[in-house]
Amino acid sequence: MNKRHDPGHGAPPLAAPYESNASIAEVADRLRHAGAVAVLTHSKPDGDAVGSTMALVRTLRLLGKQAQGVFIPPWNPRLEPIVLDTPVVHVRHGCFDHPPLANADCVAIVDTGSWNQVSDARAWLAPRREDCIVIDHHAHGDADIAGVRHIDARACAAAELVARVCKDLLGLGSFTGFPPDIAEPLYLGLATDTGWFRHSNVTSGALRLAADFIDCGVDHNRLYRLIEQSDSPRRLRLLRRALERLELIDDDRIAIIALDRHAIDECQATQDELGGLTDLPQTVGSVRAVAVLTELEPGLTKVSMRSKAVDPPESPVDVNRVAQTLGGGGHLHAAGAKVHAPIDEAKRRAIEALRRGMRP
């Protein structure tokens, strides 16, 4: 054993770094030699997760394999028209002894490589580690989740990497050769993970790929309507109420929205429809940090926080650290906490914590 990496007597082995150990061609080869493949993705699957899963399942089925998509809840019914009649299993209560899953001799995990994003599947995955393949574009994950890994954090979406695998599997000369039902979910993955080609992760490669998928026959308008223009009237009523409750403080640098149970119930908004309210105030130039408070029950308040990227020498508000002072956590620009306090008290604490976080 290499001395330098010897963790020493009794010490746990060092965690392997989360990086590729297989090329696209090697991943495709592994799938080509599999019989029955389960394609798994992170819980609460989004456009990229569902798009990547559907494209890979349909490609493998074209090759005559028994392939199934596996979705861990909560499921967004808006994505149903992407799935249509492709075989999928919606896992309930972490139950994986459904026959097509029990028979799988290979598991492909797309758009994640983190145990905590597939925690329902942990007991099922752990003994299959050597038959698991990860295809992911996140910088962080757990290398011990799969024996074969293709990880490329430069890719704007997992769909970009899955597209390369599918092209290899189908032996295509170019990305314009995909059947429309494989190009469509891949396009959806690229579009949703780049905010419809607006976010900073968009690359010339992603735009070229998207153009190729349109040439395959993808209907951009149908997908845009489906994902971005299918809200319920309740959602718009909730946005109106949220804007009524919006407060801009500290020279319009901090934005706060507090929605008590009465306001939420009045709009008949579901928990799902409460998502994304943090986007609204971030459109204002002066706003540096946003907190949206929603009353889950009397005495329990959810706080969602966001901060904007800024140009140096300014430094962004680290909402991860701010949320930690409230008993939560997250990332530099997106974090949250559940505060055991009535909403007014939680709001006072969130403002105080954000003000501390704004100080250099």
**DSSP 8-class letter at 35:** S
The stretches of 7-74 forming alpha helices (DSSP H) are: 24-32, 47-62
Strand order in the sheet with 36-41: 88-90, 66-71, 36-41, 106-110, 132-136, 148-151
Which residue's CB is nearer to Mn ion, number 137 or number 288?
A: 137
Which residue's CB is nearer to Mn ion, number 48 or number 131?
A: 48
Which residue's CB is nearer to Mn ion, number 146 or number 258?
A: 146
Span from 110-118, 148-156, 246-254, 297-305 in contact with Mn ion (CB under 5 A): 110-118
**Least separation, in Å, of the C-beta of 156 and Mn ion?**
8
**Least separation, in Å, of the C-beta of 157 and Mn ion?**
5
Query: H/E element holding 221?
Result: helix 220-228
Partners of 289 in the β-ladder: 254, 307
**Least separation, in Å, of the C-beta of 138 and Mn ion?**
7
**Least separation, in Å, of the C-beta of 49 and Mn ion?**
7
Which residue's CB is nearer to Mn ion, number 56 or number 269?
A: 56
Residue type present at position 291: A
Quick count: other Cβ atoms within 10 Å of Cβ 283?
A: 7
Q: Are 133 and 149 in contact (CB under 8 A)?
A: yes
Longest dimension (CA), the chain: 65
* Near Mn ion by CB under 5 A: residue from 31, 158, 183, 317: 158
Partners of 149 in the β-ladder: 134
Span from 32-40, 153-161, 213-221, 305-313 in contact with Mn ion (CB under 5 A): 153-161
* Residues that contact Mn ion, how many (by CB under 5 A): 4
**Least separation, in Å, of the C-beta of 34 and Mn ion?**
23
**Least separation, in Å, of the C-beta of 158 and Mn ion?**
5
Q: How far is CA 265 from CA 194, 302, 341, in A?
A: 33, 16, 19
Q: Does 193 bind Mn ion (CB under 5 A)?
A: yes
Which residue's CB is nearer to Mn ion, number 158 or number 254?
A: 158
Which residue's CB is nearer to Mn ion, number 101 or number 188?
A: 188
289-328 positions binding Mn ion, by CB under 5 A: none
Q: Does 111 bind Mn ion (CB under 5 A)?
A: yes
**Least separation, in Å, of the C-beta of 150 and Mn ion?**
14
List, as one string, the DSSP characters of 98-124.
SHHHHT-SEEEEES---GGGSGGGHHH
Which residue's CB is nearer to Mn ion, number 113 or number 328?
A: 113
Span from 107-115, 195-203, 210-218, 343-351 in contact with Mn ion (CB under 5 A): 107-115
31-70 positions binding Mn ion, by CB under 5 A: 48
Span from 155-163, 261-269, 280-288, 311-319 in contact with Mn ion (CB under 5 A): 155-163
**Least separation, in Å, of the C-beta of 242 and Mn ion?**
27
Measured at the alpha carbon of residue 284, what is the angle toward residues 278 and 288, in degrees to the nearest 5?
70
**Least separation, in Å, of the C-beta of 269 and Mn ion?**
26
Q: What CA dihedral angle connects 261, 264, 266 and 270, to 10 degrees?
A: -120
Which residue's CB is nearer to Mn ion, number 192 or number 294?
A: 192
Which residue has its beta carbon closest to Mn ion? Answer: 48
Cβ neighbours of residue 328 closer than 8 Å, sequence gap 6 or more: 303, 335, 336, 337, 338
Measured CA to CA, the distance from residue 270 to residue 259 in angstroms comes to 13
Which residue's CB is nearer to Mn ion, number 140 or number 348?
A: 140
Span from 68-76, 152-160, 199-207, 349-357 in contact with Mn ion (CB under 5 A): 152-160
**Least separation, in Å, of the C-beta of 206 and Mn ion?**
12
SS3 351: helix
Closest by Cα among 207, 214, 104, 209 to 167 = 209
Which residue's CB is nearer to Mn ion, number 150 or number 349?
A: 150
Q: How far is CA 234 from CA 73, 81, 289, in A?
A: 23, 22, 26
Residues that bind Mn ion (CB under 5 A): 48, 111, 158, 193
